[in-house]
């Protein structure tokens, strides 16, 4: 099997398997600006990767829920390799690169989705699962239910190269039984950073029932046409997606910083700092190497993407004991002490005074947005449970980041929580498997 690789609709290379290696071979005469990946510039010699697909092509392969749906829908087209999976989903991915079977132009024949109807409609788990099955043919990573949908935009189709298609403008994310009202959670978690206006944050809308989040894609232009290349730190590190937690914040920084143009580094590292701090304030344990990414139109304008995928994971009892996804100075803890400040100072070039101001701005923002969360829950009783969990988590997050010496002099959410009549947070679900002990083993004998 050979696949055609296109950049902005122009075929530039072929991807295929040769014995125990995967091979990317650029076509003759391809311009240097039409590189497929920052890690694989245009050259005559083929780019080879042993055993698995090159990390760049694996970064958007579906995982978890979506992968199961695709296997169910397209099983006969899959031969068990990532190459066949990419052949099915690669024509409608994230970023400026598309991958299709040899001789097949990129495009999609999916019916457009009316986003406004989705925002106001039925978003129960069953209905959303049906939407995912309908729009499953899309290259997008992540374990939670989500899909890329062509947006209805009248009857005009937008061109991409020679073929015409309805381009995708949104990523649509739903809830499941273990993460109820995820749209509500992520919308307000993102807002803690977004309302400060200090760095780019994805534009997102929550459905009326709080179950779905519609996120505007930032890799397309105003008409929905693919424009930007996008590469996450996981791929830049050469890691497969399932190893997105098997690295450190320091390594993620080094892998991404190497491609930042001279003269922009300071501002870009400040943006990364805001993203990292936000995760500590709202307790997002799911910030891994795939949630820090670069995007670009050329080598001269590589920057960090707008901040995305910020969720208060600790609000869900099933995930409440999860530590940060990436370690700093070898530690994965929500109480990092001076190690986080040292990282900002020595690695990001952010002075202690500036770090303290950033912390306080985010903590104050969490208090303000926390009050918004409480107010929203007054108007919709179904959100009361997740709202309670979120504001308790943010209160703990701000107190921990500020430190015990500073908490007394600053506003928290204690008074707002009491005024809302919220009870204590739900206890974390206990671990069912102890370290080094499988639950499948026979019980130990009593002595």
Residue 282 falls inside a structural domain: yes
Are 290 and 372 members of one domain?
Answer: yes
- Residues 236, 382, single domain; the answer is yes
Q: So what's the pLDDT on residue 26?
A: 98
Do both 253 and 367 map to the same domain? yes
- Clarify whether residues 169 and 237 are in a common domain: no
pLDDT 10s digits, 31-68? 999 999 999 999 999 999 998 899 999 887 776 666 66
Q: Does 196 fall in a domain?
A: no
Residues 131 and 262 in one domain: no
> Do 28 and 166 belong together in one domain?
yes
What span, in angstroms and rounded, lies between the C-alpha atoms of 45 and 368?
55
Contact 3, 15 (CB under 8 A): yes
Calpha distance 168→149 (Å, rounded): 6
> Could you tell me the residue range of the domain that residue 108 belongs to?
2-174
Shared domain check, 27 and 150: yes
Give a yes or no: residue 78 inside a domain.
yes
Question: Domain check: are 244 and 140 in the same one?
Answer: no
User: Are 167 and 248 found together in one domain?
Assistant: no
Could you tell me if residue 208 is inside a domain? no
Residues 239 and 367 in one domain: yes
In a domain, 411, yes or no: yes
Alpha-carbon distance 17 to 8, whole Å? 24
Q: Is residue 438 part of a domain?
A: no
Q: How is 136-185 classified by DSSP, letter by letter? A: --SB---SSSEEEEEBPBTBPPEE-SSSEE--EEEEEE--BTTBTTHHHH
**Total tally of structural domains belonging to the chain:** 2
- In a domain? residue 336: yes
pTM, whole model, 2 decimals?
0.84
What's the mean pLDDT in 241-264?
95
How many CB atoms are closer than 10 A to CB 438?
7
Residues 152, 266: one domain? no
Residue 441 belongs to some domain of the structure: no
pLDDT tens, position by position, 285-337: 999 999 999 999 999 999 999 999 999 999 999 999 999 999 999 999 999 98
The answer on 268 and 163 residing in a single domain is no
CATH number of the domain encompassing residue 381: 1.10.1070
């Amino acid at each position: 099997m050979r696949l055609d690789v296109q950049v902005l609709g122009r075929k530039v290379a072929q991807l295929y398997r040769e014995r125990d290696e995967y091979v990317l071979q650029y076509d003759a005469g391809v311009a240097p600006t039409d590189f497929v990946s920052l890690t694989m510039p245009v050259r005559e010699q083929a780019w080879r990767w042993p055993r698995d697909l090159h990390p760049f092509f694996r970064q958007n392969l579906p995982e978890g829920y979506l992968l199961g749906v695709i296997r169910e829908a397209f099983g006969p087209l899959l031969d068990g390799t990532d190459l066949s999976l990419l052949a099915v989903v690669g024509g409608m991915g994230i970023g400026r690169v598309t991958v299709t079977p040899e001789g097949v132009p990129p495009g999609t024949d999916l019916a457009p989705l009316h986003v406004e109807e989705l925002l106001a409609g039925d978003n129960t788990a069953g209905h959303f699962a049906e939407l995912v099955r309908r729009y499953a043919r899309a290259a997008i990573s992540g374990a939670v239910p989500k899909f890329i949908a062509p947006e209805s935009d009248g009857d005009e189709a937008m061109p991409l190269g020679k073929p015409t298609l309805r381009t995708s403008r949104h990523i649509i994310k739903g809830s499941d039984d273990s993460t109820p009202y995820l749209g509500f959670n992520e919308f307000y978690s993102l807002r803690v950073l977004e309302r400060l206006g200090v760095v780019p944050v994805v534009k997102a809308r929550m459905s009326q029932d709080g179950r779905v989040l519609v996120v505007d894609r930032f890799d397309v232009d105003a008409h929905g046409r693919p424009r930007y290349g996008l590469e996450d730190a996981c791929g830049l590190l050469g890691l497969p997606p399932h190893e997105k937690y098997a690295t450190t914040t320091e390594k993620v920084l080094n892998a991404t910083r190497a491609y930042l143009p001279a003269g922009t580094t300071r501002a870009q590292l400040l943006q990364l700092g805001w993203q990292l701090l936000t995760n500590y304030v709202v307790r997002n344990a799911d910030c891994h190497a795939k949630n820090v990414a670069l995007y670009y139109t050329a080598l001269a304008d590589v920057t960090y993407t707008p901040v995305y995928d910020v969720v208060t994971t600790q609000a869900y009892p099933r995930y409440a004991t999860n530590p940060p996804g990436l370690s700093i100075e070898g530690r994965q803890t929500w109480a990092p002490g001076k190690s986080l400040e040292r990282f900002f100072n020595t690695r990001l070039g952010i002075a202690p005074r500036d770090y303290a101001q950033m912390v306080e701005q985010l903590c104050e923002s969490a208090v303000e947005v926390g009050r918004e969360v409480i107010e929203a829950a007054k108007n919709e009783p179904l959100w009361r449970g997740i709202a309670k969990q979120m504001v308790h988590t943010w209160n703990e997050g701000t107190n921990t980041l500020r430190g015990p010496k500073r908490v007394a002099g600053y506003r928290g959410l204690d008074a707002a929580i009491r005024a809302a009549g919220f009870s204590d947070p739900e206890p974390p679900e206990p671990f069912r498997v102890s370290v080094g002990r499988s639950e499948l083993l026979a019980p130990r004998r009593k002595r």
